[in-house]
Amino acid sequence: LGAAHGQHRADYDREALLGGQEEAEEYARLRPEEQRRRLGAIVRKIDADADGLLSKDELSSWIQQSFKHYVTQEAKQHFHDYDKDGDGLVSWKEYNLQMYDRVIDFDENTVLEDQEEESFRQLHLKEKKRFEKANRDDVPDLNVDEFVAFEHPEEVEYMTDFVIQEALEEHDKDGDGFVSLEEFLGDYRRDPSKEGDEGGGTEQNLLEWDELYAPFFFFLSALHLIEEMDLDDDKKLSEGEIFKNQDLFLNSEATDYGRQLHDERFYHEEL
């Protein structure tokens, strides 16, 4: 649900957070009043209840929507790299050729002796399973929407059961069809109302638990922004507070590190 951020040079950050060198240069060329106009338009879109303040829930929801938008767009752009024959579909063969430069076919029931090769076999079989699950029609190849579901199953509703099942299989070490909540969710995601409970979870309650905590990292990002920028300690952000901390807001997930200032769909306002 989020990439870990390492330590980088400040000049590199400025380019990376704005979407690249070209976007950073474009941003630098914008007149201050145009920067402010675009940022203000984005702030008003985040403000779902139009009360002039951004709550942690509004920020978290916006960050999640923005993330989904960009990963979806990225997958759609990559689709053409995989669609070798240009027929508007990606076959399993085409996927293999793009990813591995060859067509790979492992036997599902044959365990390989070499540990590295066996790990790759398991990974490849999971990919094939995900490819098949993403397919929603009688055509064996994936159209662009199905390809998005294959690349980012966590962002597509009809893939939810698959995502949960895959997680269950990954964490179910003894193969009994159960996984403890503590093991699956980690200490920071343990249910505080079930102290002393071993937390054996079926696929269904794992689904409910995952739905509850899926926005966890988006929520943390929103909380961090409020903690850093909230000058009057009302636990919300006003437009004025955001403008006073403009660089911090631009260098955050709330604007997808500044990319939204270059995407008219985000800063355009209806008259």
Condensed to tens digits (0 to 9), the pLDDT of residues 12-60 reads: 434 433 444 555 566 667 788 887 888 888 889 899 999 999 999 999 8
Q: What pLDDT shows up at residue 83?
A: 97
**Residue ranges of the alpha helices (H) in 83-215?**
92-100, 115-134, 144-151, 160-171, 181-185, 203-213
- Residues 75-82: what's their mean pLDDT? 94
Taking alpha carbons only, the member of 7, 16, 8 closest to residue 256 is 16
Q: Is residue 123 assigned to a domain? A: yes
Is residue 257 in some structural domain? yes
Beta bridge partners of 142: 90
Distance CA 215, CA 221 (A): 10
Q: Average pLDDT of the chain? A: 77
Is 95 a domain residue? yes
- Quick one: pLDDT band at residue 170, thresholds 50, 70, 90? confident
Q: Which of 14-28, 92-106, 113-127, 135-149 has the lowest mean pLDDT?
A: 14-28
As a whole number, mean pLDDT of residues 54-71 equals 87
Comparing 60 with 186, the larger pLDDT belongs to 60
CA distance 17 to 251: 6
Percent share of the chain, pLDDT over 70: 66
- Residue 14 lies inside a defined structural domain of this protein: no
Whether 2 is covered by a domain: the verdict is no
Position 68 in a domain: yes
Whether the predicted pLDDT of 141 surpasses 70: yes
Number of domains in the chain: 1
DSSP 8-state code for residue 156: -
For residue 6, tell me if it sits in a domain. Answer: no
Tell me which residue range forms the domain holding 32.
Answer: 19-190+206-266
Judge contact between 49 and 58, C-beta under 8 A. Answer: yes
**Does residue 166 sit in helix, strand or coil?**
helix
Q: Choose between 239 and 171: higher pLDDT.
A: 239
Answer yes or no: is 48 within a domain: yes
Asked if 248 contacts 229 with a C-beta cutoff of 8 angstroms, the reply is: yes
Neighbouring C-beta atoms of residue 262, cutoff 10 Å: 19
Residue 182 clears pLDDT 70, i.e. is over it = no
Higher pLDDT, 196 or 267: 267
Mean pLDDT (whole number) for 60-74 = 84
Q: What element of type H or E holds 176?
A: none
User: Which H or E run contains 200?
Assistant: strand 200-201
Measured from the Cβ of residue 179, the count of other Cβ atoms closer than 10 Å reads 23
